[in-house]
Amino acid sequence: MKLLTGVMLCGMALSAHAESKLKVSDLPPAVQKTVEEQLKDATLVSVGKEVEKGKTLYEVETKVNGKTRDLMVDPAGAVVEVEEEVDIAGIPAAARDAIQKKAAAGKVTKVEALSKSGKLVAYEAAVMKGKKSSEVAVTPEGLPFKD
């Protein structure tokens, strides 16, 4: 029974969030235009299509000056979300202190600035404690962030 429940839960999770890999030429024209504009100062890593809760978004993974920058683009070509790797030293002190406090004895391995509809909403940090990894997300003011 536990196995059946696990299989059902996995199936529901997959149906709620589906992803496929694409080429830029596979994208709708408006999305292609946005991707081409975003690639002027970046290198393309991959392009994917995600469907979450019935909403289609295109994920564009790029590198800019050796750092990751991931974009979520809607079918009309609007950039709705950006995750951009940043140096922890360059983020606001309140956010940096909150991340370091939550990381405690762990090591912060990567920090990304998360913007939605052009507004910075959070900093997400990857933390390693021994062999376990976790994520810490805080607002620019250092408060816990829930997406």
Is 143 within a domain? Answer: no
Closest CA to 30 of 56, 68, 51, 61: 56
Q: Does residue 144 form part of some domain?
A: no
Nearest 5°: phi and psi at 100?
A: -65, -35
Length of the chain: 147
pLDDT at position 52: 85
Residue 6 located in a structural domain = no
Residue 40 lies in a domain: yes
Report which of 96, 106, 109 is spatially closest to residue 139, judged by C-alpha positions: 96
- The range of the structural domain enclosing residue 90 comes to 18-138
| Structural domains counted in the chain | 1
| 12 domain residue, yes or no | no
From the list 64, 63, 59, 65, the residue with the least C-alpha distance to 80 is: 59
> 10 Å Cβ neighbour count for 35?
21
Query: What is the pLDDT, as a whole number, of residue 4?
Result: 35
Please name the helix (run of DSSP H) or strand (run of DSSP E) that holds residue 84, with its range, or none.
Answer: strand 79-86
CA 16 from chain centre, in angstroms, equals 17
Q: Is residue 145 part of a domain?
A: no
pLDDT tens series, the chain, 147 aa: 433 333 333 444 433 445 678 999 999 999 999 999 999 999 999 999 999 889 999 999 999 999 999 999 999 999 999 999 999 999 999 999 999 999 988 999 999 999 999 999 999 999 999 899 999 999 999 999 987
With vertex at residue 63, the alpha carbon angle to CA 60 and CA 89, rounded to the nearest 5 degrees, is 115
Give me the CATH number covering residue 26.
3.10.450.360
Cα of first residue to Cα of last residue in the chain, in angstroms, is 33
The answer to whether position 77 is within a domain reads yes
Q: Where are the beta strands (DSSP E) in 1-78?
A: 17-22, 43-52, 55-64, 67-73
